[in-house]
Amino acid sequence: MTPSTRYDRLVVVKEREKDVAKESYEQAKKKATEKLEQLYSLLKQKEVLEEGRRHELTKGISIDKMRHTQVFFEQLETGIAHVQKEVQQAQAQLHLREQNFQTQFREVKKFEKLRERSVTVERSERHRKENLLLDELATQSFMQRGTW
């Protein structure tokens, strides 16, 4: 097995690992985006609720309606806190997977470089051997002619 063949196989393996890491990163990115959108939706809902509550307070509102609104507001706050934790976890996971993808990408580049160097060394060695063979043939031809 020539060195370049060995590196070819390693590059293929590393490419697969990089592709898996990229897919994992893309999934984490999608999940983080979904969680951020969910958080945005809850925060927007909270903003609308607060605006409605201010408007109702200026008009006058029953105590039961105020209690109901307050309970809903507290549930919304709890939901927001929960989703914020999920967003933080999703972002942390995204960061880890991004680092893994970058590491795999560097690994692929490293093995591609090794393969290129191996091919260059093989080519140089082949060229050197060809030159030696040509020199040997020239020497034999010269010796056969017998002219010194």
Mean pLDDT in order along the chain per 10 residues (148 residues): 73 93 96 96 94 85 85 94 96 96 94 90 94 91 75
Q: What is the pLDDT of residue 88?
A: 96
Q: What is the pLDDT of residue 54?
A: 86
Q: What is the pLDDT of residue 23?
A: 96
Q: What is the pLDDT of residue 143?
A: 85
Q: What is the pLDDT of residue 2?
A: 62
Q: What is the pLDDT of residue 14?
A: 92
3-state secondary structure the chain: CCHHHHHHHHHHHHHHHHHHHHHHHHHHHHHHHHHHHHHHHHHHHHHHHHHHHHHHHHHCCCHHHHHHHHHHHHHHHHHHHHHHHHHHHHHHHHHHHHHHHHHHHHHHHHHHHHHHHHHHHHHHHHHHHHHHHHHHHHHHHHHHHCCC
Q: What is the pLDDT of residue 61?
A: 79
Q: What is the pLDDT of residue 1?
A: 55
